[in-house]
Amino acid sequence: MSFSIPQRKTVALVGASGSGKTTIARLVPRFWEASQGQVLIAGINMKDIDQKELMKHISFVFQNTKLFKTTLLENIKYGNPDATMEEVEKAIDMAQCREIIDKQPLGLNTKIGTEGTYLSGGEQQRIVLARAILKNAPIVVLDEATAFADPENEHLIHKALSELTKGKTVLMIAHRLTSITDADNILVIDKV
């Protein structure tokens, strides 16, 4: 397979389960190394880019993203530890998370997970989207970002995704064709 994603454009990958969409998505941030061929960013082989440096330029939201067992604030600031509170608040609003934060007894200081609060899958995705928005990386990889969302959360996640992907280079994977209608190109993986 060979394809290019022009800068600030969105390419969607669709295909049957097991066709390799997630494998392709995980090659971009180098979670897996390509055993053949190469993955290039701006003409540079990703294997030649330091992993830490590469991570500064890529945000990713996968379908099974989990939050860290720490505060909501720390979960969001993981995307940009040096962010100001004003930047955090803006990311929260852009990711449609305000009501999630406001209903917590300690707001942003509420702990998640063991001995803390548990959020629904859709709420977790919105917090992860706030993290990605705060990071503000030029490349975004989305793998089934609305997979575990109920209809209400899915609508809010789509609004947050719209904010996250503005002006970015995006690789998006989806089973629901309704979530890729704004893509500049749609690539179908037909044969496994």
Would you state the structure tokens that stand for residue 45, as one six-digit string? 């082989």
Which residues of the chain fall short of a pLDDT of 70? 147-148, 192
The interaxial angle of helices 151-165 and 121-135, nearest 10 deg, is: 10
Return the domain boundaries, the chain: 10-189
Could you give the CA distance from residue 58 to residue 139 in angstroms, rounded to a whole number?
5
pTM, two decimals, is 0.88
Would you state the pLDDT for residue 96? Answer: 93
Task: Could you list the beta-strand ranges (E) of the chain.
Answer: 10-15, 40-41, 44-45, 58-62, 139-143, 169-173, 185-189
Would you state the pLDDT for residue 115? Answer: 74
Q: Identify the CATH number of the domain defined by range 10-189.
A: 3.40.50.300
Would you state the pLDDT for residue 192? Answer: 59
